Amino acid sequence: MRIFNGSYELSPGIRFYTPDRLYEYELSENEVTIHALTKQGEEKIHGMILTYSITSPLPGVLRLRLRHHRNRDTIKLVETEETEALHITDNKESLVISSGELSVQFDKVEWNYSFSTDRFLSNSGRNGAGIVYDSGKKHYITEMLSLTAGDVVYGLGERFSPFVRNGQHVEIWNRDPGSKSDLAYKNIPFYMTDRGYGIFINTPSLVDVEVCTEDAVAVRFTVPLYELDYFVLYGPSPKEIIRKYTALTGRPPLIPKWSLGLWLSTSFLTDYNEEVISRQIDGMFGRDIPLTVFHFDCYWMKERHWSNFMWNRDLFQDPAGMLQRLKEKGLKICVWINPYISELSELFNEGADKGFFLKNAEGAVYQIDWWQPGIALVDFTNPDACEWFKNKLRPLLADGVHTFKTDFGENAPEDAVYYSGADGHEMHNYYTYLYNRTVFELMEEYFGKGNALVFARSATGGSQRFPVHWSGDSSATFSSMYGQLRGGLSFSVSGGAFWSHDIGGFYGKPRADVYKRWIAFGLLSSHSRLHGNDSFRVPWNFDEESSLVLKKFTELRYRLIPYLYAACYEASCTGVPVLRPMFMEFPDDPGCRYLDMQYMLGRSLLVAPVFDEAGVAGFYLPPGSWTNYWTGEVVDGGRWFHETHDFFSLPLYVREDTLLPEGPVEQAPLQDSLQDITITLYCIKTSSEIILYEGKEIRIQAEKQEKGIQVTATEKIPGLVFRLAGKETSWQCTENTLFIKQEE
């Protein structure tokens, strides 16, 4: 929402009242309240008051609540306890409020406030914050924070447009748009800059964000409310910003290790029954391709009856027996659901009679003819409706289902009436949070913490608490594959720890080369699923080489399960995602600021997918020694590389000072991740550490010494083997320590 149309005039229809001066203020140990006057008037009786409340929930985090008029409650994504004591400096010229290293200074002479640490971060001036009315007299609160020269902005949810947000107008408003535009399923009102701070706008309402558009060196964010509540989070590192953001909005939980295995789906519009899916599964196992999860998409239920959570008995006469037979093959089971109940569903009358659906203004069930006939939407603000929804899913878990693909949730209508009395506009983005929370709670109730997950498409701020998420409907092209990576990187900067995408793309049948390149990208992502629209994504549907490619990369993934699970555990402790943009691992390297065609998988593995028909990949290695995973060749970074790869490889490099744990392939996601593992030491120049997890932490450390490398473990690991990258010698570690001599 542009408040100004260029430098000299307001946008058409806009009235903007910006503070003129700091009028009054009140100080306490934990809160500062400032009343800013928009204009004085000749008689000193006119003007509007914009009230600021400044508090701190964490050291290095300041919360600013800008309010016009009182007693207008709004939904918050997070409610925090403002327990941090503020350090306040009050003098004639300014009022400085500090938490940890972060300060905000309000000028008492000329209206302005700026954020700083030991250096300037950002400021809001005379035309920054204010009260806005549009031509329809709708009320808004706005803020504009400056950027310094060269600052780069990231985040704002899973977005498939260019990774760097500078120059983009972003609406934080969930939609069901596919993945080819600037619209998004996962709109998250949080961004960070490479200057060392992040901004979290604490509302599920529409947030309109102008990133270097209205003002080429500023970010403006505007809400259609009477209060604008935002946090400034100082890092300075991107990882520390994410740690603080997830400390506020919730850490992602540890997900079950089996979810790291390969998922195979029925796809959407395919015809299938037990015989058909058994052929697909047996085809995978017959080609020695590891498989851990099988997913039933929409048509496990009868068409136009979605959702009734009942197996279509025309296709599945013995669903419990079928699930048991799949379980005997070593498979976990996922089934598709959504929160919309068709008028033909066996659940419709029950839900309507009990008041479990959203209502219209007349008090009747809110129904629309979209997706399914006359759908109603479950009202997740009603605790009884949440329990009812859970109870309809419990029998599926009892029959052998392990998780649910929680599709949709983006289209909650603004004019619906909620049980809680919540405003429909504010509930639009928040609906997906409540929907996925309800299902995730059921999974934790049934399987226990650390064994629960969903497979969700939509999200808002804090949704990382209910993983996993996937990217939605992509196209079967190289360009769409690239867009998926941009979306995943953007989601990871926005707090998303676990993320997946449809290998091969969703719409259309990919060419064999696209499918094979996507396999490599997909198996080196946080989670890996073969899924499409109207065809099974099994490899023999493309060419026979595809089966060999899938086998190779799935086996690679399964060997890496100890490493991947360690990254998942790190995410659950810190919020730092599994799939990371380059700047997150190398924030001091300006060469990494704009990179969106490569990424870090965990701390140590650099992956550069091939998006090119000729098999050429260009990628950048930051300074240091990097080891080619495939060949063992060590190269110096700090420069660009171009490589040509066949379908059985892609640029995969290991960072220096890395301990890389790998295990056996066979059923790796279902086994003890510390069983029979080999840890390879890559270019240990100083020291390295990895925290392995299997019900408890085991820390492995390596330290370079004058005559070799000292390796220590906090506990003995049976069968643990160490090796040096590029060397054939290996060492069995039977104790807690091992010294590897330099000459060896």
Buried b (16+ CB within 10 A) or exposed e, 231-260: bbbbbbebbbbbbbbbbbbbbbbbbbbbbb
Order of all β-strands in the sheet with 634-636: 579-580, 599-601, 605-607, 652-655, 625-628, 634-636
Buried b (16+ CB within 10 A) or exposed e, 166-200: bebbbbbbbebebbbeebbbbbbbbbbbbbbbbbb
Q: Are 347 and 356 in contact (CB under 8 A)?
A: no
The residues, any chain, with a CB within 8 Å of residue 451's CB and separated by 6 or more, are 256, 443, 444
Q: Which two tokens stand for residue 115?
A: 């954020």
| Alpha carbons 728 and 453: distance in angstroms, whole number | 40
Phi first, then psi: what are they for 394, rounded to 5°? -55, -40
Helix (H) or strand (E) holding 352: helix 348-353
The residue annotated as part of the active site, out of 214, 297, 473, 596, is 473
555: nearest Cα among 666, 671, 676: 666
Cis peptide, bond prior to residue 267, ω within 30 of zero = no
| Alpha carbons 537 and 422: distance in angstroms, whole number | 42
554: nearest Cα among 597, 519, 595: 519
For 16, which DSSP code?
E
Q: Are 323 and 333 in contact (CB under 8 A)?
A: yes
Torsion of CA 577, 583, 585, 590, to 10 degrees: 180
Q: Is 282 a catalytic residue?
A: no
Q: Is 399 a catalytic residue?
A: no
| Alpha carbons 269 and 72: distance in angstroms, whole number | 47
Quick one: how far is CA 694 from the chain centroid?
24
The residue annotated as part of the active site, out of 143, 379, 407, 657, is 407
The residue annotated as part of the active site, out of 208, 227, 410, 657, is 410
125 exposure class (CB count in 10 Å sphere: 0-12, 13-18, 19+)? middle
Q: Is 544 a catalytic residue?
A: no
| Alpha carbons 117 and 119: distance in angstroms, whole number | 5
Catalytic residues: 407, 410, 473
